[in-house]
Amino acid sequence: MRTNVFLLIASLLLVATSSVTMAQSQQPDPDYEDVRTLVDRLDLTQYKTTLKGLTQFGDRRQGTERNRQAIDWIEAQLQSVGCTTTERIDYIHDPAPRNRSSRRRSQNPLNVDGSTATGKQIGRNGSGPGGSSIFGYRGATGVNTDPMNQPDEHLRELNREPATNGPRQEVYCTKIGTTNPGEMYIIGAHMDGHGWGEAANDDGSGTAIVLELARIFNSPDIQTERSIRFALWNNEETGLNGSRAYVEQRVGLQGQEVPPGSGNYPEPRWLGMVQHDMMLFDHGAPRADGTVSPDQRPEADINIEFQSTAELAPEARALAFFFKATNDAYATDYPATVGPHMTNTDSTPFMDLVPAISLRENERGAHIGAGWDPHWHQPTDVFDTFTDDDFRLGLASAQTTLGAIAQLVKATITQ
């Protein structure tokens, strides 16, 4: 039985990677007029409106009523834009209690006493001499758990309910392809957050991108040859549990026609997975005193990452560079760069099964992990923290993904 499962997965990988490699064998076509028209339908005001709507549920911490209400709201948004094939994944989140002392030791395998080479204690992001340094590090940054750090009384009350273990849900919907409905690209973001703010950037910004792309691709005048799935993961902040549950439940169902001959594919074969996680804030490295510029840096860019250690790294790299070339052809305001260190995001559970990439404001390890975003998991991660320069970075990310996916699924305007 186990051999048969391995053979099934191997055959799915062969078909998926060959399809992706063939689809990306050409450079993006800047004269693909239907794609340019679709990209032009993205609007900064609409993107901000969608993101603002999501922030009404506070930080949307998993295992709370505000999280469940946000899932209902997301499903209603998807249905309202014509993506009526909404479904939910059910799973249980019941982790064992953490051993905090073991966790602290495991953060620094090189120095048992938890120190750096200079003798300073390592925080979540590391630290240099004196607690901050010329090397682009702030002081230690973790997840804010103190409600009194949130000066907004309304947000304090909204986020007050603690998480409890138990059943979880996440929602997705599917744009059905016309000629190849049994193949699809997955566009994802995680909708949960924490920190006693609004989780506006992490990851309301990515969730709003997915919702905006669902709005455009599901317009009544749009057809795509391949299918697209729009997935809003839950439990990212607790260890990618929602996306892992999806992979565990759905990987073996790929490409099965139910019933045979019906043309109905509950789980089309995966051709690529594209994650969006923190899309707004690229203000540069911390200064020597640990502060970060209040302004988006002129050289801000979108980081498209693949994981060089993944089983399908060559295919994921090809997908990442296809997205970069699409950004060059279609995006406004901000360029894109490609890096090989995708980590700690919901594309990770997919990366050995299908070419998987993530789009971010910065590199996850080298930049975000080193304190480049002082609002990460903090009470200040609220809509009003960010400016239109920040929101345009999110919009450029949406343009990048929309332009790339539209070409890969062969989108056309029918009216």
**Per-residue model confidence as pLDDT tens digits over 307-362:** 999 999 999 999 999 999 999 999 999 999 999 999 999 999 999 999 999 999 99
pLDDT at 200 exceeding the cut of 50: yes
User: Is pLDDT above 60 for 136?
Assistant: no
Least confident span in 133-142, 149-158, 224-233, 378-387: 133-142
pLDDT in tens, 204-247: 999 999 999 999 999 999 999 999 999 999 999 999 999 999 99
> CA triplet 350, 354, 360: central angle to 5 degrees?
60
Q: At residue 79, does pLDDT exceed 90?
A: yes
CATH topology of domain 2-413: Aminopeptidase (3.40.630)
Give residue 142's pLDDT: 83
**Sequence-distant contacts of 123-129: CB under 8 A, at least 24 apart:** 124/369, 125/369, 125/370, 125/371, 126/369, 126/370
What are the domain boundaries of the chain?
2-413
**DSSP-derived secondary structure letter, 278:** -
pTM summary value: 0.88
User: Bigger pLDDT: 255 or 25?
Assistant: 255
Mean pLDDT of the chain: 87
Q: What is the pLDDT of residue 100?
A: 56
Mean pLDDT in residue range 391-396: 98
* Range 160-180 average pLDDT: 98
Position with higher pLDDT, 356 vs 13: 356
SS3 8: helix
List of residues 6+ apart from 149 with CB closer than 8 A: 196, 378, 379
Instruction: Round to whole Å and give the CA distance between 41 and 155.
Output: 33
Q: How many residues comprise the chain? A: 415
Q: What is the mean pLDDT of residues 154-177?
A: 98
Distances (CA, A) of 107 to 122, 123, 261, 325: 9, 9, 52, 37
Q: Where are the alpha helices (DSSP H) in 140-240?
A: 153-158, 206-217
